[in-house]
C-alpha cells in the first residue's frame, strides 16, 4: 500500500526563508517517516506558485493538483498536514479540496494547524504553543508577536492566544495582526497601559517573508517597527519565522502524528474526510 504525506502551506516567494522553514519541516517529516511515507509539497497561494514559476522556474502544486497527482500515482493513504497558523480561509480551502477527494483514497486524513483546539476544558494547542514560545523567546522581556490577521471568524484565535497568555501569567507577551484584530492601534494602547518602554518585535508567521520584511520591520511609514518607535518604545527585532524554531516545528510534527494515530478522531478529523 502506497502512503503519502502532503505538507501544505500558504507558501513564500522568498527562497531564503523558504529554505529555513518549509524545507526544514519537510526534511524532518521525511526523516521521521522515511520507511513508511513519501513526502510532497503544496502551496495554497496561487499567486506565490505563479511567482516562483516566473522568477525561478520552480514548480509547486496546489492542494488539488497534488491530490490528483497522488491519485494518478496509485497512492492509497494520504495525510495532509497544513503548516498554517489558524484554521482560517486557507485551511477552509484545504478542507474543501480534501472533501472533494475523500472517495479517491482508502484513507485521506487532514491534520490541524498550529492553533485549533480551544474550549473551557481543552486549551491544548494554545498551551502547547505557549510552552514552546517560552523556551525560545527572551526570558523576562516583553515580546510582541505580529501575525497576519484575517476577516475570517478564525481571527478570534489571536485574541484567544492573548487571553491565554494572561491566564497563564505570561504578562509580558502581546499579540497583534497586520490585517485584523488585534490591530496596531489596540496593541499600542495596551502597551501604554502596561507602561511598556521596550519590547522584542517578532513575526507570528511561519515564514519571515513579505509581511515581516515590509509591514513589520521596514523603515517605511506605517511599519510596526516605526509606529512603536514613534511611541517612544525601544524595539529589538527578532527577524525569524516560527518555522525557524525547532520547538515550533515539533508542534507540527506532533499534530501530524496525532492525525495519523487518530488520537483526536471525533474532535478533529477522521479517516474519511474531516469534520464540518
Using one digit for the tens of pLDDT, what is the confidence trace for 33-65? 999 999 999 999 999 999 999 999 999 999 999
Distance, in Å, from the CA atom of 193 to the CA atom of 132, rounded to the nearest integer, reads 27
- The pLDDT of residue 221 is 84
pLDDT tens by residue, 76-124: 999 999 999 999 999 999 999 999 999 999 999 999 999 997 665 556 8
pLDDT tens by residue, 161-179: 999 999 999 999 999 999 9
Sign of the Cα torsion 244, 250, 254, 257 reads positive
- The pLDDT of residue 124 is 86
Distance, in Å, from the CA atom of 116 to the CA atom of 8, rounded to the nearest integer, reads 16
107, 272 contact by CB (below 8 A): yes
**pLDDT > 50? residue 268:** no
- The pLDDT of residue 117 is 79
| Intrachain domains 3-116+245-261 and 125-243 with the same fold | yes
pLDDT tens by residue, 16-29: 999 999 999 999 99
pLDDT tens by residue, 224-265: 999 999 999 999 999 999 999 999 999 999 999 999 998 866
Q: How many CA atoms lie within 13 A of 209 on its CB side?
A: 19
pLDDT tens by residue, 136-158: 999 999 999 999 999 999 999 99
Confidence of residue 267 (pLDDT cuts 50, 70, 90): very low
Q: Is 14 one of the annotated binding-site residues?
A: no
178, 225 contact by CB (below 8 A): no
Q: Is 258 one of the annotated binding-site residues?
A: no
Q: Which residue is listed with cell 484567544?
A: 160
This prediction's pTM: 0.93
Report the mean per-residue pLDDT for the chain. 93
- The pLDDT of residue 259 is 95
Distance, in Å, from the CA atom of 21 to the CA atom of 24, rounded to the nearest integer, reads 5
DSSP string computed for 79-119: EEEE--SSSSHHHHHHHHHHHHHTTSSSEEEE---SS---S
Fold of domain 125-243: Rossmann fold (3.40.50)
Distance, in Å, from the CA atom of 42 to the CA atom of 53, rounded to the nearest integer, reads 14
Domain ranges of the chain: 3-116+245-261, 125-243
Which of 1.10.340.30, 3.40.50.1400, 3.40.190.10, 3.10.150.10 would CATH assign to domain 3-116+245-261?
A: 3.40.50.1400
- The pLDDT of residue 132 is 97
Q: Is 46 one of the annotated binding-site residues?
A: no
Of 6-10, 59-63, 90-94, 218-222, minimum mean pLDDT range: 218-222
- Give the residue numbers marked as catalytic: 148
R_g (Cα) of the chain, nearest Å: 19
Amino acid at each position: 500500500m502506497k502512503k503519502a504525506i502532503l505538507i501544505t502551506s500558504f507558501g513564500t516567494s522568498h527562497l531564503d526563508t523558504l529554505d529555513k522553514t518549509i524545507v526544514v519541516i519537510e526534511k524532518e517529516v521525511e526523516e521521521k517517516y522515511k520507511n513508511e511515507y513519501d513526502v510532497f509539497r503544496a502551496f495554497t497561494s496561487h499567486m506565490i506558485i505563479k511567482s516562483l514559476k516566473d522568477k525561478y522556474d520552480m514548480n509547486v502544486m496546489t492542494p488539488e493538483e497534488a491530490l490528483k497527482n497522488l491519485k494518478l500515482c496509485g497512492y492509497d493513504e494520504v495525510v495532509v498536514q497544513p503548516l498554517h497558523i489558524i484554521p482560517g480561509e486557507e485551511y477552509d480551502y484545504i478542507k474543501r479540496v480534501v472533501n472533494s477527494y475523500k472517495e479517491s483514497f482508502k484513507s485521506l486524513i487532514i491534520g490541524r494547524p498550529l492553533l485549533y483546539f480551544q474550549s473551557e476544558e481543552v486549551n491544548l494547542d494554545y498551551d502547547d504553543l505557549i510552552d514552546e514560545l517560552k523556551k525560545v523567546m527572551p526570558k523576562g522581556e516583553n515580546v510582541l508577536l505580529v501575525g497576519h490577521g484575517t476577516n475570517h471568524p478564525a481571527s478570534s484565535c489571536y485574541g484567544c492566544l492573548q487571553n491565554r497568555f494572561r491566564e497563564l501569567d505570561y504578562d509580558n507577551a502581546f499579540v497583534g495582526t497586520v490585517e485584523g484584530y488585534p490591530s496596531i492601534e489596540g496593541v499600542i494602547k495596551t502597551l501604554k497601559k502596561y507602561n511598556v518602554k521596550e519590547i522584542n518585535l517578532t513575526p507570528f508567521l511561519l515564514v519571515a517573508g513579505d509581511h515581516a520584511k515590509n509591514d513589520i520591520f521596514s523603515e517605511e511609514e506605517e511599519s510596526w517597527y516605526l509606529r512603536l518607535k514613534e511611541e517612544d518604545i525601544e524595539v529589538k527585532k527578532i527577524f525569524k519565522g516560527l518555522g525557524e524554531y525547532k520547538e515550533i516545528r515539533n508542534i507540527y510534527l506532533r499534530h501530524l502524528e496525532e492525525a495519523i494515530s487518530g488520537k483526536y478522531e471525533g474532535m478533529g478529523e477522521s479517516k474519511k474526510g474531516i469534520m464540518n
